[in-house]
């Protein structure tokens, strides 16, 4: 009897502890409908499903950050010189994400305050982007650092690579979440990092990271690799192909 009571007590205690732990840290598992994507000749962007389960409570938010393989981005600024608009300045942003997109259950500013987002490195303002190399420009009013990053964000958004918050995540019964991810046609190949965070009262309480692999595939990969690995041979092949095609056309349409 005493032993049974003792057992019951420890069971209740254990239960209480796990639910407490859940309330404090949460638990989150996320996955993608496909984690390998091939850029083939028919590639025109792709949609995929991100889904998962979370140990959630009423009012929780889910936030997803997808960031593409880092690349250097040349940012150029035009100015009028002698009547024509020419690039007068080049800034190189080193190791910037080639794709950056955020999806969430609510608008981002409602989920957490800017300081929290900054400490979690969420948003292109908060990932430590810096201009690595800069061509100086004489005698012109220089835009501020903020204007440069704002221009970069606008340019990258216009080519669909850093879109503003692109979609909504739906969270069902505070347990299951899902969202449709649209990737544009001009994405780079490489490893994409997908971060999924659970927020409660403005604090991130759990996080899961999965990878998404994008590779060139099929004929498109064949041509790309041929051009880069055997470039002299590729050049000769392109010339021979053109000569053959031109000759064929002349023969096929020869009249009289």
Partner 1 sequence: MYIYLPIAEISMHIGIIIGLGGGVGFLSGLFGVGGGFLMTPLLIFFGIPPAVAVATEANQIVASSVSGVLAHMRRGNVDFKMGGILLLGGVIGSSLGVVLFTTLREMGQIDLVIKLSYVVFLGIIGFLMLLESVRTILRTRRPGIHKTKLHQHNWLHGLPLKMRFRRSKLYISALLPLAIGAFVGVLAAIMGVGGGFIMVPAMIYLLGMPTSVVVGTSLFQIIFVTANVTFLQSVQTQTVDFMLAGLLLFGAVIGAQFGTRASALLRGEQLRGLLALMVLAVCIKLGFDLALRPDDLFSVELLK
- Residues in the site for partner 1, rule: CB under 8 A? 39-45, 71-80, 83-87, 90, 92, 98, 151-152, 154-156, 158-159, 161, 185-186, 188, 216, 219-221, 223-224, 227-228, 231-232, 234-239, 241-243, 245-247, 249-250, 253
Q: Which of 161, 177, 180, 146 is nearest to 49 (CA)?
A: 180
Distance, in Å, from the CA atom of 109 to the CA atom of 40, rounded to the nearest integer, reads 38
Least separation in angstroms between CB 256 and partner 1: 10
Q: Pick the closer one to partner 1 by CB: 18 or 135.
A: 135
- Helix or strand holding residue 55 (H, E): none
- Helix or strand holding residue 139 (H, E): none
Least separation in angstroms between CB 150 and partner 1: 9
Q: Pick the closer one to partner 1 by CB: 99 or 102.
A: 99
Q: Pick the closer one to partner 1 by CB: 166 or 220.
A: 220
Q: Pick the closer one to partner 1 by CB: 2 or 138.
A: 138
Q: 149: which 2 tokens?
A: 């990053």
Residues in the chain: 256
Q: Which of 197, 162, 143, 136 is nearest to 71 (CA)?
A: 162
Q: 82: which 2 tokens?
A: 């002698």
210 within 8 A of 35, measured Cβ to Cβ: yes
Distance, in Å, from the CA atom of 38 to the CA atom of 36, rounded to the nearest integer, reads 7
Whole-angstrom CA distances from 101 to 165, 167, 184 are 6, 9, 11
SS3 (DSSP) at 189: coil
Angle at 197 between CA 213 and CA 116, to 5 degrees: 120
Q: Pick the closer one to partner 1 by CB: 53 or 86.
A: 86
Q: Pick the closer one to partner 1 by CB: 6 or 76.
A: 76
């Amino acid at each position: 009897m005493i032993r049974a009571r003792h057992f019951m007590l420890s069971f209740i205690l254990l239960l209480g502890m796990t639910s407490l732990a859940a309330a404090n840290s949460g638990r989150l598992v996320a996955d993608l409908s496909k984690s390998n994507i091939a850029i083939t000749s028919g590639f025109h962007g792709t949609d995929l499903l991100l889904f998962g389960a979370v140990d959630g409570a009423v009012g929780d938010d889910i936030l997803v950050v997808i960031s593409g393989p880092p690349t250097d981005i040349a940012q150029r600024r035009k100015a009028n010189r002698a009547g024509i608009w020419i690039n007068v300045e080049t800034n190189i942003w080193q190791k910037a994400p080639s794709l950056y997109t955020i999806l969430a259950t609510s608008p981002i500013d409602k989920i957490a305050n800017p300081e929290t987002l900054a400490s979690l490195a969420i948003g292109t303002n908060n990932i430590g982007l810096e201009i690595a190399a800069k061509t100086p420009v004489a005698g012109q009013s220089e835009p501020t650092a903020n204007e440069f990053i704002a221009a970069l964000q606008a340019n990258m958004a216009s080519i669909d690579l850093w879109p503003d918050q692109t979609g909504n995540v739906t969270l069902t019964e505070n347990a299951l979440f899902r969202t449709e991810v649209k990737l544009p046609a001009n994405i780079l190949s490489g490893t994409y990092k997908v971060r999924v965070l659970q927020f409660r009262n403005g604090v991130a309480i759990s996080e899961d990271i999965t990878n998404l692999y994008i590779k060139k595939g099929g004929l498109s990969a064949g041509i790309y690799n041929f051009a880069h690995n055997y470039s002299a041979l590729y050049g000769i092949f392109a010339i021979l192909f053109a000569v053959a095609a031109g000759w064929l056309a002349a023969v096929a349409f020869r009249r009289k």
